[in-house]
Structure 1
Amino acid sequence: MAETDYVVLDPRFKPLIRFSASVQRLYHGCAWAEGPVYVPAYRQLIWSDVVNDRMLRYDEMSGNVGIFRQPAQYSNGNTLDFQGRLVTCQHGTRSVTRTEFDGAITVLAATHAGKPLNSPNDVVARSDGTIWFTDPTYGIDSDYEGHKATSEQQGAHVYRVEPDGDVVAVAADFVQPNGLAFSPDESLLYVSDTGLSHQSDGPRHIRRFAVGRNNSLSGGEIFAQCTEGVFDGFRVDREGRLWASARDGIHCYDPNGALIGKILVPERTANLAFGGPKRNILYICATTSLFCVRVAVNG
């Protein structure tokens, strides 16, 4: 029954879902599904199968799945910039790239302070033309998600790419920064830290920063603590609620930080994206599969 796909922890969660809408598996066969991005012009979802070094494409109208790019340089997080171009984090090249409309690949960021980045993980665009990304070490820790290498950075940071190409470190007090997203008005930046993967008592939370006029960050307090595994990727809906991946599914948080409900998924989730013409289809990347569920909110 579809009702068993949901856990209501607060009455505020009930209007956001429809108990008749079940979680559906759209594709199975990935090694590590990640980085979904919805492309409205083509009604397609593109996502990364990191370990298999490929990017896949789901056609919303036909239901078909095919290869978008292979090899894909162990791609992870993806987003669209405000011109509709695909922006991708690549573990293999330790860079953030942009796919131009003619198919050419432009490198947006590959170094900071003259040294290679670790392995860019997730990325988001801001309306002022800047690109923000996280740079943990997962892609260089072993050959599983990239190419094993020694970090040449002084830690794992959050970065901003300016329109002129300058790469600026904006937050340097993370263990392993991972997912990130802006609030609807772009006044807040949320960033998850999955440092529990490298430290027995490491962080497994999402932090919230205020974004200043000059794109400086302040605050950085803990917004939410993960109760099942760690937070990886997440998205924010139009009302500012945060939908985050966790071990048992998708956790929904009110803008005040309260966990109000869950969408249960049969595999460990990694990331998600709102899609469909009305942005009310939640696409979920979960280990070996791509899932979807229709919700009563808009991304």
Structure 2
Amino acid sequence: MGTELPDQFPTTAGWRAFPRYPDAAIEALDPRFEKYWIMQSAVERLYTGCRWSEGPVWFGDGRFLLWSDIPNNRILKWEEETGAVSVYRKPSDYANGNTRDAQGRLVTCEHGARRGTRTEHEGNITILMDSWQGKRLNSPNDVVVKSDGSVWFSDPPFGILGHYEGHLADAELGQNVYRIDGETGEASIIADDVLGPNGLCFSPDEQILYIVESRGVPHRKILAYDVTASGREISNKRVLIDAGPGTPDGMRCDVDGNLWCGWG
């Protein structure tokens, strides 16, 4: 029997002939993981050809995935039904982190324009924030939207350190994590003590905010903060995970409170 791939399964969709289950590429290091392991599934490569992929965000209502290819200055789109990959936005202003708000709109961190934006349903782009007290942001990195509509994002300087993932520039602000109020649009600094703030997410009840400290000494860390009763501030900083030689980056929390982290 031949092993040629049928036309309806393009190689860019990551289709593999004769998959075997369970996939040997998946290993449960802790028995608590096994309840989340779908044994009749396999690791698939959806696409190749990116220089550096970040910020995946799933549109379940449209059955497609968007993600950022930062150095190539584009956002790509993968369609579940066909496996086709196309350019969603180019130039993307060196987009990095992406998420959706409660209205299903795309919220994006842009290194190149040094701002956070929202893509409206009609396709036009709204600038959420590009400066703080008259000074330009560094290079917004990752973003999460709380149930009250507030937008929380990290702002390290990675996108202004050279021309590979943004534009070389001097930092005008410290490395902060910001909150944009969902009703008034008013911005505030909610953390200024994180070395290289990167990925961030909330626990399911939104009482804990997790932040990746990507320039932590001597190792990267995942920090945890309590969200105050008002939902506008955080307190009680603590180290949840010392990553050792690992490199956690983007992350999300599932309905059971587990953190799923991109980990180099």
Q: TM-score, normalised by structure 1?
A: 0.78
What's the CA shift for 1:229?
2.8
Q: What amino acid sits opposite 2:181 in the alignment?
A: E
Contact 2:23 2:43 in 1 (8 A): no
Deviations 1:1-37 (A, max 9, x none): 6443233222211222134422110100000100011
For the 8 Å contact 1:35–1:48, the answer to whether it is kept is yes
Q: 2:90 maps to which residue? A: 70
User: Could you list the runs of 5+ residues in structure 2 that have no partner in the other structure?
Assistant: 1-19
Task: Using the TM superposition, give the Cα deviation of residue 129 of structure 1 relative to its aligned residue in structure 2, in angstroms.
Answer: 1.2
Unmatched segments (≥5 aa) in structure 1: 248-299
In the TM superposition, 1:51-62 aligns within 5 A as 51-62=71-82
Contact 2:219 2:245 in 1 (8 A): no
Match of 2:243 among 226, 234, 237: 226
Deviations 1:241-298 (A, max 9, x none): 1111111xxxxxxxxxxxxxxxxxxxxxxxxxxxxxxxxxxxxxxxxxxxxxxxxxxx
1:227 Cα deviation after fit:
4.0
Distance in 2 of aligned mates of 1:144 and 1:202: 26
Summarize the alignment of residues 106-185 of structure 1 with structure 2, pairs less than 5 Å apart. 106-153=126-173, 155-163=174-182, 164-185=184-205
Q: In structure 1, what is the equivalent of residue 225 of structure 2?
A: 209
Partner residue in 2 for 1:244: 261
Matched, 1:37 2:29: no
Amino acid at match of 2:81: M
Q: Which moved more, 1:223-232 or 1:33-42?
A: 223-232
Question: In structure 1, how many angstroms separate the alpha carbons of the residues matched to 2:23 and 2:48?
Answer: 23
Greater Rg, structure 1 or structure 2?
Answer: 2
Figure out how many residues of one structure are paired with residues of the other and give that number.
242
Q: Over residues 65-85 of structure 1, what are the superposed CA-to-partner deviations in whole Å (9 max), with x where a residue is unaligned?
A: 100000000000000011111
SS state at 1:195 partner: coil
Please give the alpha-carbon distance, in whole angstroms, between the structure 1 residues aligned to 2:175 and 2:218: 14
Q: RCO greater where, 1 or 2, for CA within 8 Å and sep 6 or more?
A: 1
> How far did residue 63 of structure 1 move?
0.8
The Cα of 1:226 is off from its aligned counterpart by 1.6
What is the root-mean-square deviation of aligned Cα atoms in Å? 1.3
* Contact kept? 2:219, 2:243, Cα under 8 Å: no
Q: Distance in 1 between matches of 2:29 and 2:57?
A: 28
CA distance in 2 between partners of 1:32 and 1:236 (Å):
23
